[in-house]
Amino acid sequence: MLIEQIVIRYIDAWNKTEPHQRRAAIDALTTEDCGYADPLAVVRGRDALDGFIAGVQKQFPGFVFSLAQVVQFLAVLCAPLLFSRTGLVKGVILTQLATAAALASMALIHPGPHGGTPALWVYPIYMAMQFMNEPGIYSLLMDQIPPGERSNASASTFFVSNACQAMASVAMGAAIVRFGYSAALLGIAGLAVAATLLFARLSGSHATSAPDSSGYLEDLTAIRL
C-alpha cells in the first residue's frame, strides 16, 4: 500500500460517522495493538481508538478532518519564524512565489505509474505557503495603521478579503468549466507571479525589519486558521 493511500484511509477513518463503517475502516488499517497519542489523550488498541474518534465526533458535530487543515495550522504557527529570518517583505515575496510554483506544479504533473497522485502532496505545500503569506501581508498593513484604528482596519481587511475570495471562486469555477483545470491553475499561477512583482515594486524591492515578536503574535491571533 502506498503511503498516500495509508494517509487517505487514516483520514477517512476519522471522518466515518457511522459506527460500523468507522470500525471497519480502523480494522482494515491498523493492528490490534495500534496506538494513538496527542497532547490531550493516549489510547492503545482498536477499541480505544474507535471510542476516542467517536468521542471527538460527538464533542464536535460536523467536524471533518483533512490533511490540508493540519498543514494550514502548522504553517500559521511557523510563519513568525520565517518572517523573523527574512523580514516581512522578503517573506511575503518568497511565500507568494512558492504558492505560484505549487499551483503550476499541480497544473502540470500527472498521476504516477502506480496510480499515485503527486498533486495530493503538492496541494498541502500550496496551502502552507498561502497561509504563511497571509499573516505577513496582514502585519505589513497593521504596521502602517495607528493602534487605535487597527480594529476597524482589521474588520475591513477581512471583509474585503472574503468578498474577493467569493468573486475569485466564481471566476475560477467559470474558468475551469471553459478551459479545464490545468489551464485555470496555470492562469492563477501567472497572476500570483504578477502580483508578487507588483508587490515587490510597490514595497521598494527591499525587506523591512521584522516586527516586534510580541506585537506580531498578537496580530497573528486575528488570522483565521
- CATH number, domain of 89, equals 1.20.1250
User: Within this chain, do residues 88 and 148 fall inside the same structural domain, yes or no?
Assistant: yes
User: Within this chain, do residues 156 and 47 fall inside the same structural domain, yes or no?
Assistant: no
**First-to-final CA distance of the chain:** 32
Tens place of pLDDT per residue across the chain (225 aa): 566 677 778 888 999 999 999 999 999 999 888 888 766 678 889 999 999 999 988 888 887 777 666 777 777 778 888 888 888 889 999 999 999 999 998 888 765 554 445 666 788 788 888 888 877 888 888 888 888 888 888 888 888 888 888 898 899 999 999 999 889 999 999 999 999 999 988 887 444 444 443 444 444 434 444
Beta bridge partners of 43: 36
Residue 157 grid cell: 481587511
CATH code at position 33: 3.10.450.50
Entry pTM? 0.61
How many domains does the chain divide into?
A: 2
Predicted pLDDT at 208: 44
d(CA 211, CA 206): 15
C-beta separation of 133 from 199 below 8 A: no
Beta bridge partners of 41: 38
C-beta separation of 130 from 188 below 8 A: no
d(CA 187, CA 159): 25
C-beta separation of 137 from 92 below 8 A: yes
Domain annotation covers residue 225: no
Beta bridge partners of 37: 42
Return the exposure string of 65-90: e unless at least 16 CB atoms fall within 10 Å of the residue's CB, then b.
bebeeebbeebbeebbebbeebbbbb
Residue 217 grid cell: 503574535
Domain end (from 59, 78, 95): 59
Q: Could you list the residue range(s) of the whole structural domain that residue 28 is in? A: 3-59
Give the CA-trace dihedral at 205, 209, 214, 219, to 10 degrees.
-20
d(CA 64, CA 70): 11
User: Within this chain, do residues 40 and 89 fall inside the same structural domain, yes or no?
Assistant: no
Predicted pLDDT at 188: 92
Going by C-alpha positions, the residue among 72, 99, 89 that lies closest to residue 191 is 99
User: Within this chain, do residues 203 and 130 fall inside the same structural domain, yes or no?
Assistant: yes
Q: How many residues are there in the chain?
A: 225
Amino acid in position 186: L
User: Within this chain, do residues 189 and 213 fall inside the same structural domain, yes or no?
Assistant: yes
